[in-house]
Amino acid sequence: SSFDAIKFYDLDIYLNKLMMRAGLMNDVFQRDVKQIFSRQTIATQVREGPLKQIERCRIKIESDYHDRRYPTSACILDLIRCSVVVESVPDMMSGLKWFADCVANGQGASIKRFL
């Protein structure tokens, strides 16, 4: 087999750069999400999630995105994660609208870079 420079760069350089950026932005992202949900009226619990593991990213890229254009690593959109727990479906819908409106109005600057 021959050396695939594009695949090497995609999975070993580009993906590592994405992971580094995710690690650097994680605290700010988590803070912004918590601040947005702290200002609304429904009861929520915001839980920080772990960064997606690089090995899981590689597997997902090679299995789910192998037919996408270079750089396939850019298809991984959930490196930084959190969850918001609410009590009911109507609260979930209300909270989602609140979140989208806040981000659209410029709150949570780190989030806007992701959406």
Contact 29, 114 (CB under 8 A): yes
pLDDT at 107: 86
Q: Which residues of the chain have pLDDT under 50?
A: 114-115
Q: What is the pLDDT of residue 113?
A: 53
Compute φ and ψ for 42, nearest 5 degrees.
-80, 155
CB contact at 8 A, 54 and 107:
no
What is the per-residue pLDDT across 51-79, written as a single tens digit (0 to 9) for each? 999 999 999 999 999 899 999 999 998 99
Residue 115, pLDDT score: 46
110 exposure class (CB count in 10 Å sphere: 0-12, 13-18, 19+): middle
Question: What is the value of pTM for the model shown?
Answer: 0.82
Please report the pLDDT score of residue 111 as a whole number.
81
For 62, list phi and psi in degrees, rounded to 5: -70, -25
Within the chain, where are the H helices?
5-8, 15-38, 54-64, 89-104, 109-112
